[in-house]
Amino acid sequence: MREYSPDLTPQWKRPKPVPEVPADPDLVVEVAGTDFCGAVVACEAGTVTLEDRFGKRRVFPLEPRGFLLEGAVVTLTRPSRAPAAPLRTASGSVAVPGARARVARAGRIYVEGRHDAELVERVWGDDLRIEGVVVEYLEGIDDLAAVVADFAPGPDARLGVLVDHLVPGSKESRIAASVTSSDVLVVGHPYVDVWQAVKPSALGISAWPVVPPGQDWKTGVCRALGWPENTGAAWQHILSRVRSYKDLEPVLLGRVEELIDFVTGGGEA
């Protein structure tokens, strides 16, 4: 039988009890002994995940007296209730819990490749289903004029096209200029590939590498970052780090929102 050993520490030397606060979503706390301050985004398995104002996320153990709430020391505990349904979608739009997907519109959004389509789905998927907008990929835009003619756009079947590397003087800009229908909107971002539209901070890197001309860009990125030269696996890693619109560059956000508005009738050419 274990012998009882009383705590003989003087009362004035014992640490004062501190409040216990449930780590509910969006609670903003500071980690004791550090300069990291962020909002709770997850709490599980004895840890809490915080996101700072720059979108950087870190995981911390739920240790006693481990956090500051409005300058006062607290102990974070597991939430007392299951988190409520998210109030916003990954794109930042107001969520509509239980909403059913709308029957697909005649209008469409075309993007260049599969990675572009997966990224758009990742962030805007909920919005697109509610609006009934289908996103398809083209595997390049060299035949864009023919694709547009085959689609036969009209006032009730608008077509939006998202183009990579749409900068003055590029091949892509010349192809885009060949499409003149008022029922088609061609917009783009300046990046060589949609990978670059993901913020480096979301991946824990300082910047996207500069790949010398003549090299395959995606393979060059993998080499520069020390990743296996498997671009498919690299993309899945990149995509997994995209949790919301906050992980994407503003220039892409604006273009996709513009296309959705155009196809749904909310924007003009």
The angle formed by the CA atoms of residues 122, 125 and 130, to the nearest 5 degrees, is 165
Extract the tokens encoding 119: 């990224």
How would residue 248 be classed by pLDDT, with cut points 50, 70 and 90?
very high
How would residue 176 be classed by pLDDT, with cut points 50, 70 and 90?
very high
The predicted-structure confidence for 45-60, as pLDDT tens digits, reads as follows: 788 999 887 778 889 9
For each of the domains in the chain, give its residue range(s) and CATH number, in order of start. Answer: 18-77 (2.30.30), 108-264 (no CATH)
- Predicted confidence at residue 121, as pLDDT, reads 94
Residue 265 in this model has a pLDDT that exceeds 90: no
* Secondary structure of residue 121 in the 3-state scheme: helix
Per DSSP bridges, beta strands 72-77 and 67-69 are: antiparallel
At 42, give phi and psi (nearest 5°): -160, 150
Element (H, E) at 187: strand 184-188
Tell me the DSSP string of 93-109.
PBP-TTPPPPPPPS-EE
Per DSSP bridges, beta strands 72-77 and 20-22 are: parallel
- Count other C-beta atoms under 10 Å from residue 182's C-beta: 11
- Predicted confidence at residue 269, as pLDDT, reads 47
The predicted-structure confidence for 158-169, as pLDDT tens digits, reads as follows: 999 999 999 999
